[in-house]
Amino acid sequence: MSAFPGQTFRPMGTPADRLALRLGDEAHLVERAAMLQIRANLEDMCVRIDNIWRQPDADFYATMGMPDPYTKIERPVPQNFFIGARPSLIGSSVDFWPSITTRAATARASSEQFDHFDVFDVQLDVEVLCKAGPIPQDRLHDQLGIDAEGEVNRQIQRLCAAVHMCIRLDPSLGAAIEPIQRPPVKSQGFPFALPGNTRERTGDYWVYCGKRLRYIAAVNSL
C-alpha cells in the first residue's frame, strides 16, 4: 500500500491562480496556503500514520522483548496552529503543545526569471512542537524520564510525517503556487525537560521536542 493516499484534497483555487502576480506578499501567501492545507487534512493523515505504524510497532517491541507503549499521535488543538514566527511557544505552558507553525521569512530570486515579472524562491518552514509527560522531578533521570524522551521522539516523528503528507496531497498548496518540486530539509532538535505546566514552572516535568520541515516554493511577483 502506498504511504500517500489518492488526491483527496479539494483545491481552494484553479491552475490559473498560480499565474497571478503577487505584490510583495509572496511569503505571506505561502505560509497561509500551507497552513490551510495542513489544517484541512491533518486529522486524516494522523489516522493514516497511526494505522501504518500499529503493526510495525507491535512487531518491533515483540522482537526487542519490550512492552509496546502504544503511541497514538497527539493532535494539536484548533488554537495551536500558528502563522509566522512564534518564539514564545518554547517557554509557554503545555497548553500550547503540540503545535504547528508555518513561517516564510526568506525569499530569494529564483534562477529562472522572466521579462515582465519576478520569480521568488520562498523558504517555507513548518515547525512542529511535541511533548510527553508529566514526569515527577525525582523520576526525570530514571526509566520514566528516559521513556518520555522516547515517547516525544515518536510523537514528533509521526506528527511531522502527517504534516508532510498534508503538503504532498497538493504540492501547489491549493493552486496558490507553482508545485513544490523538492522534498523538505528536515531538522530535529534534542528533547529537553522543563518543570511545571505553566509559565511559573512549578510541579512535575514535561519533555519537549521540536522539528522543522523546510520547503522551497516558487512564486511569481511584480
User: Residue 15: which pLDDT band, with cuts at 50, 70 and 90?
Assistant: very low
Give Rg (Cα) of the chain. 19
Residue that wins the pLDDT comparison between 168 and 26: 168
CA atoms within 13 A on the CB side of 219: 28
What pLDDT is stored for residue 111 in this prediction?
Answer: 66
Tens of pLDDT, residue by residue over 69-94, are 888 999 999 999 999 999 999 888 88
CA distance 212 to 191: 14
Tens of pLDDT, residue by residue over 92-101, are 888 999 999 9
Cβ-proximal residues to 199 (8 Å cutoff; 6+ apart), any chain: 91, 92, 93
Q: Which phi and psi angles does 46 have, rounded to 5°?
A: -65, -45
Q: What residues form DSSP beta bridges with 193?
A: 207
Tens of pLDDT, residue by residue over 102-154, are 999 887 877 676 656 678 889 999 999 999 999 998 999 999 999 999 999 99
For residue 157, how far is the Cα from the chain centroid? 9
What pLDDT is stored for residue 192 in this prediction?
Answer: 94
Quote the DSSP letter at residue 19.
G
CA distance 81 to 100: 5
Residue that wins the pLDDT comparison between 220 and 24: 220
Say if residues 145 and 151 touch (Cβ distance below 8 Å).
no
Using the predicted structure, report yes or no on whether residue 158 has a pLDDT greater than 90.
yes
Output the CA torsion sign for 125, 74, 77, 208. negative
What pLDDT is stored for residue 14 in this prediction?
Answer: 46
Domain ranges of the chain: 20-221
Say if residues 184 and 170 touch (Cβ distance below 8 Å).
no
26-29: long-range contacts, CB 8 A cutoff, minimum separation 24: 26/104, 26/107, 26/120, 26/122, 26/219, 26/221, 27/104, 27/105, 27/106, 27/107, 27/122, 28/104, 29/176, 29/177, 29/219
Residue that wins the pLDDT comparison between 1 and 160: 160
What pLDDT is stored for residue 165 in this prediction?
Answer: 98
200 by Cβ neighbours in 10 Å (0-12 / 13-18 / 19+) ranks as exposed
Of the candidates 6, 2, 19, the residue with the CA atom closest to the CA atom of residue 176: 19
Q: What is the pTM of this model?
A: 0.85
